[in-house]
Amino acid sequence: MADSQALLQARFGIGLPGTEVPDAIAGLIDRRVTRRYTEQDIPDSLLDALLAAAQSAPAKSDLQQYSVVVMRDRPRIKQIADWIGTMDWIATAPVFLVWCGDMRRGQRMCEMHDMPHANNNMDTFLNTAVDCSLAMGQFMAAADAVGLGTCPISYVRSHIERVSPLLGLPKGVYPVAGLSVGWPLFRRPVSMRLPPSVVVHRERYDDSALAADIAAYDQRRNARDPVAAGGLKNNDVYPPRDGVGWSENAARQLSVPERFGFSTYLKTKGFDLA
């Protein structure tokens, strides 16, 4: 039987009295990101089973509007790692997956049946991104269950003009995230998450206690895992200083535009974002 309060204490930095964690989901609460991998390869048979698990995720209206590009060629994976520049562990992973939203398949099916594709709009963009994210999340859970480790990489979108040609992505297909996959060299500590009181709303949205809850979370998180100088965001905009908490560091990141050319890129891929 899982030690519910120990798992919850590790995840949130606080206990959640009355919450019992079934053994079947204890691994999900204990999940850790993996950024260092052994040299052991992943057999195709296992990888294919994990991809089958990913394809078993729910999809909007059963449209299944996503694709995944499997990369095993180390020099090609290293190209992406070099473009990103700050995530050297990508190049050490035996497998790198690029999860893509895919409108093209639906467009081609409409052509096959002599019908117009009338939904290259914002809603379809959102549906492709959600379908893709659900499948990627299910892959990660399956990988964890067999002892593999993963790390999602949103930074592939920061170099979308290079990643797309490298993968041969046609119109209607765009990268949502990369995912490094491999056997963990070691298990990292559990990352402390926001308390449920901040994230979970009952019947109606209510963030009236947000400031106090975030302040308490910053204090708990800094006590366990203070923000290191190398982890401070946008030091070229805001002077680095000691004592920055999670919320201030998040604000440092959110206050500076990121990937502001993404919508322009999507329009070149055939998405009408109106």
Residue 147: how many CB atoms within 10 A of its CB? 8
Give per-residue pLDDT as tens, 98-125.
999 999 999 999 999 999 999 999 999 9
Same domain (yes/no): 15, 81: no
Give all strands (DSSP E) within the chain, no chain letters.
66-71, 95-102, 149-153, 173-182
Q: Which two tokens stand for residue 59?
A: 């999809």
> Does residue 202 lie within any of the structural domains?
no
Give per-residue pLDDT as tens, 16-60.
999 999 999 999 999 999 999 999 999 999 999 999 999 999 999
| CATH code of the domain in which 139 resides | 3.40.109.10
User: How high is the pLDDT of residue 1?
Assistant: 61
The terminus-to-terminus CA distance of the chain in angstroms comes to 51
> Does residue 38 lie within any of the structural domains?
no
Question: What pTM was estimated for this model as a whole?
Answer: 0.94
> Does residue 274 lie within any of the structural domains?
no
Same domain (yes/no): 72, 20: no
- Last residue within a domain, chosen from 144, 169, 185: 185
Same domain (yes/no): 144, 236: no
Domain span at residue 263?
209-269
> Does residue 73 lie within any of the structural domains?
yes
Same domain (yes/no): 11, 127: no
Report the number of distinct structural domains present in the chain: 3
> Does residue 65 lie within any of the structural domains?
yes
Using a 10 angstrom Cβ sphere, with 0-12 exposed, 13-18 middle and 19 or more buried, the burial of residue 23 is: exposed
Same domain (yes/no): 76, 21: no
User: How high is the pLDDT of residue 3?
Assistant: 92
Same domain (yes/no): 235, 144: no
Same domain (yes/no): 74, 14: no
Same domain (yes/no): 19, 60: no
**Residue 198 · residue 217 · CB < 8 Å:** yes
Same domain (yes/no): 156, 237: no
> Does residue 94 lie within any of the structural domains?
yes
> Does residue 86 lie within any of the structural domains?
yes
Same domain (yes/no): 52, 172: yes
Q: Which residues contact 209 (CB under 8 A, 6 or more apart)?
A: 197
Q: For the chain, what percentages of helix, strand and coil (3-state, to nearest 5) are there?
A: 50, 10, 40
- How far is the CA of 204 from the CAs of 118, 200, 201, 208, 212, in angstroms? 35, 10, 6, 12, 19
Tens-digit pLDDT profile for the chain (274 aa)?
A: 679 999 999 999 999 999 999 999 999 999 999 999 999 999 999 999 999 999 999 999 999 999 999 999 999 999 999 999 989 999 999 999 999 999 999 999 999 999 999 999 999 999 999 999 999 999 999 999 999 999 999 999 999 999 999 999 999 999 999 999 999 999 999 999 999 999 999 999 999 999 999 999 999 999 998 887 678 899 888 988 888 999 999 999 999 988 888 989 889 888 988 7
Q: Which two tokens stand for residue 257?
A: 């535009």
Same domain (yes/no): 152, 81: yes
User: How high is the pLDDT of residue 140?
Assistant: 98
> Does residue 1 lie within any of the structural domains?
no
By residue count, the chain amounts to: 274
Same domain (yes/no): 24, 67: no
**Residue 51 · residue 33 · CB < 8 Å:** no
User: How high is the pLDDT of residue 216?
Assistant: 97
